[in-house]
Amino acid sequence: MYVLTRLASAVFLAAAGSAAADARLEQFWPEHQQRLHQAPERAAAMNTAAKVEASDADAKAIVEELLAEPHQTPDAAALTGEWRVRSLQGGRYGIYAYPWFKARIEERDGRLFFEKTSGSQRRSGWLLPPSDGKGDWYFQGGATVNEDPQVGYSKIGDGGPRESDSVGTVWGISEGRILMLFDVNETGYEIYQLKR
């Protein structure tokens, strides 16, 4: 009984310490929290297992190079403004690069809001800063297509998780260059490469 009590206490303290380390996670559904945990490492590991056709070799090399870049923590001023963005999508069956489109990050109600404004596949949502000013930002939003109205992250409203929910990590790789890594799970991921 004593051993079980000590074990339960240790598990509780570890969980409490982990939650205290990043209180932002409470704003995400539990199943989406897993998509944020070690996302770059899991995406990189998936690339080694992906069946990459000859036409995907360039995209694979780009993703590997981008994920190997050291993480920098941009401030709000460095994120705000107009961007060019391209999507790199990876999974078990290959890695694909798409053309450059338009995006913007702007301040709304004292917070930063991201939106991809052109292309057929779009995302929009809030950027949550690191609580201590160090580390990656989090993205919390929704995915839409074409000119469909933007949708928010479902935990902000009523109900449960929706298929349109999208979560991710955001970091700088150099001045004027940002990476956003979305929805890393067992079947795939998507990267937005942003540059001025």
Q: Are 171 and 178 in contact (CB under 8 A)?
A: yes
Cα–Cα distance, 137 to 171 (Å, whole number): 6
DSSP line for the chain = -HHHHHHHHHHHHHHHHHHHHTGGGGGS-HHHHHHHTTHHHHHHHHHHHS---GGGHHHHHHHHHHHHSPPB---HHHH-EEEEEEEEEEETTEEEEEEEEEEEEEEETTEEEEEE-SSSEEEEEEEEPPTTS-S-EEEEEEEEETTPPP---GGGSSSS--TTEEEEEEEEEETTEEEEEE---SSEEEEEEEE-
Q: What confidence tens digit (pLDDT) does each residue in 119-130 have?
A: 999 999 999 999
Q: Tell me: the pLDDT tens digits for 8-38?
A: 333 333 333 344 458 899 999 999 998 898 8
- CA–CA separation, 160 vs 131, rounded Å? 26
Over residues 37-93, the pLDDT tens digits come to 889 998 988 887 766 665 588 898 999 999 999 999 999 999 999 999 999 999 877
Q: Which two tokens stand for residue 88?
A: 């790199």
Cβ atoms 93, 59 nearer than 8 A:
no
136-145 per-position pLDDT tens digit:
999 999 999 9
Token pair of 129 as six digits = 């800063």
Query: 56-60, 113-117, 177-181: which range is least confident on average?
Result: 56-60
Contact 80, 105 (CB under 8 A): yes
pLDDT of residue 1 exceeding 90: no
Q: What percentage of the chain has pLDDT greater than the value 90?
A: 66
Mean pLDDT for the chain overall: 86
Q: Is the pLDDT of residue 6 over 90?
A: no
Domain boundaries, the chain: 27-195
Mean pLDDT, residues 147-161: 86
**What pLDDT does residue 4 have?**
35
Architecture of domain 27-195: Beta Barrel (2.40)
- Predicted local confidence at residue 22, as pLDDT: 84
Residue 46: per-residue pLDDT? 82
